[in-house]
C-alpha cells in the first residue's frame, strides 16, 4: 500500500520509511515539513502520503511492522479507530482517545498523541497567560480532545466544549472529566453568554478548511472580551480568523500546532532534536504553494 509523493533524505541504499495515514491526505503538507527535517538533520528516510480508506486501515497498520518502517502520522478520520490496532498507547493518548503518531519500536507499534504537546507549545506562544482564563472549545473530535488536555495542563479554567452533536460532547466529557464542562446543542444565546466569559476560543472543528464557512455566526465574536485570544486549528486564513481580526481580537491559525506536533513526532521516530525553524520555513512555503 506504500509509495506516493513524499519528501526524502537519501544516503547509500538504506531508505527507512515514514508517512501520514488518512483519508484524504492529498492536501497534507506534512511531507514538506518532515522532508525539511530529514534534510536538515541528514537522517536517511522518506516521508510519504499514504491514502487509506477505513476498510484498508488494518492492512496499512500491519504494513508499519515492516523492518524499514519507523512509524507514521495519523490524521482524520483514523485517530480513534487506529487505537485497537496497536500494541500499546501512551497514557495521554489513551486519555484523549486519539492517536496521531505511531512509533515502530522493536516489534511493537506504540501510539502517541503529539497534538497535545503541539497545541500546548503553540498556545504558550500565542497566549502566555493561559492560567485562569476561561476557554471555549468548538468541536468534540480527536483534535478537540487534544486541545482540552493541553488547556488543562496550561491551567485554563473552566474549559467548556460546545458541539452540535450531544452524544459526541457527552463522550468527550466522560472521557476527560473533570477537566471539561460539555455543552451540547447549545442555543445561540447560551453560546453568546459563554463567549462573554471566555478569554480563549479554539475552533477544533473542520469548518473553515474549505470556503468561507464559519463554525459560529460572526456576530457572536462581539461577545468575547477585548483581551480574548482566538485560535483556529485550520492552517489557512479562515473566515473566522478574519472576522476576529476585524473585531480587534488576537487571532492565530493552526500552522504552529502542526509544526510543533510534527517536531515532537520527528524526535520520537529518530531520537534527534527536531530542526523547528527549518520545519516552520517549509510549512510556510507549502501553505503558500
Check residue 4 and give its pLDDT. 43
Q: Is 3's pLDDT higher than 50?
A: no
> Which residues contact residue 253 at a Cβ distance below 8 angstroms, ignoring those fewer than 6 apart?
231, 232, 234, 235, 236, 237, 238, 241
Q: How far apart are CA 107 and CA 40, in angstroms?
A: 28
Q: Is 8 left (phi over 0), alpha (psi -120 to 50) or beta?
A: beta
Q: How far apart are CA 61 and CA 57, in angstroms?
A: 6
Check residue 184 and give its pLDDT. 66
Say whether 5 sits in a helix, a strand or coil: coil
Contact 98, 80 (CB under 8 A): yes
Q: What is the mean pLDDT of the chain?
A: 92
> Could you tell me the domains of the chain?
6-112+257-288 (3.40.50.10860), 116-253 (3.40.50.720)
Local confidence band at 165 (pLDDT 50, 70, 90 cut-offs):
confident
79 is catalytic: yes
Positive or negative CA dihedral for 285, 248, 258, 168?
negative
Q: Is 10's pLDDT higher than 50?
A: no
Structural Rg of the chain based on CA atoms: 19
> What DSSP character marks residue 220?
G
Helix H or strand E encompassing 165: none
pLDDT in tens, 213-266: 999 999 999 999 999 999 999 999 999 999 999 999 999 999 999 999 999 999
Mean pLDDT of 4-22: 69
pLDDT in tens, 67-123: 999 999 999 899 999 999 999 999 999 999 999 999 999 999 999 999 999 999 999
Q: Is 19's pLDDT higher than 80?
A: yes
Q: Is 228 left (phi over 0), alpha (psi -120 to 50) or beta?
A: beta
**Range list of H helices, the chain:** 30-41, 57-63, 91-96, 114-126, 142-154, 166-176, 188-197, 239-246, 255-270, 276-288
Number of residues in the chain: 289
Q: How far apart are CA 269 and CA 61, in angstroms?
A: 16
Catalytic-role residue among 16, 17, 51, 79: 79
Check residue 148 and give its pLDDT. 95
Mean pLDDT of 30-45: 98
* Distance, CA of 254 to chain centre: 8
Mean pLDDT of 167-191: 82
Local confidence band at 182 (pLDDT 50, 70, 90 cut-offs):
confident
Percentage, residues of the chain above pLDDT 90: 80
Amino acid at each position: 500500500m506504500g509509495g506516493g509523493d513524499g519528501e526524502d533524505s537519501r544516503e547509500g541504499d538504506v531508505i527507512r520509511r515514514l508517512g501520514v495515514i488518512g483519508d484524504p491526505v492529498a492536501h497534507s503538507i506534512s511531507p514538506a515539513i518532515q522532508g525539511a527535517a530529514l534534510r536538515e538533520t541528514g537522517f536517511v528516510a522518506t516521508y510519504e502520503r499514504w491514502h487509506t480508506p477505513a476498510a484498508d486501515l488494518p492492512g496499512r497498520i500491519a504494513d508499519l511492522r515492516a523492518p524499514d518502517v519507523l512509524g507514521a502520522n495519523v490524521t482524520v478520520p483514523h485517530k480513534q479507530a487506529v487505537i485497537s490496532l496497536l500494541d500499546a498507547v501512551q497514557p495521554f493518548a489513551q486519555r484523549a482517545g486519539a492517536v496521531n503518531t505511531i512509533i515502530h519500536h522493536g516489534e511493537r507499534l506504540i501510539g502517541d498523541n503529539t497534538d497535545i504537546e503541539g497545541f500546548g507549545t503553540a498556545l504558550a506562544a500565542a497566549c502566555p497567560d493561559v492560567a485562569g482564563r476561561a476557554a471555549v472549545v468548538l468541536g468534540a473530535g480527536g483534535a478537540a480532545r487534544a486541545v482540552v488536555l493541553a488547556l488543562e495542563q496550561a491551567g485554563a479554567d473552566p474549559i467548556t466544549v460546545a458541539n452540535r452533536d450531544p452524544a459526541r460532547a457527552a463522550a468527550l466529557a466522560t472521557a476527560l472529566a473533570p477537566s471539561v464542562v460539555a455543552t451540547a446543542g447549545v442555543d445561540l444565546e447560551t453560546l453568546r453568554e459563554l463567549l462573554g466569559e471566555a478569554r480563549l476560543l479554539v475552533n477544533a472543528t473542520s469548518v473553515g478548511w474549505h470556503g468561507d464557512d464559519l463554525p459560529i455566526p460572526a456576530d457572536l465574536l462581539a461577545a468575547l472580551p477585548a483581551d480574548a485570544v482566538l485560535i483556529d486549528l485550520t492552517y489557512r486564513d479562515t473566515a473566522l480568523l478574519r472576522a476576529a481580526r476585524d473585531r480587534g481580537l488576537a487571532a492565530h491559525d493552526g500552522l504552529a500546532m502542526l509544526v510543533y506536533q510534527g517536531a515532537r513526532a520527528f524526535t520520537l521516530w529518530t531520537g534527534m532534536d527536531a530542526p523547528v525553524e527549518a520545519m516552520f520555513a517549509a510549512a510556510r512555503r507549502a501553505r503558500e504553494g
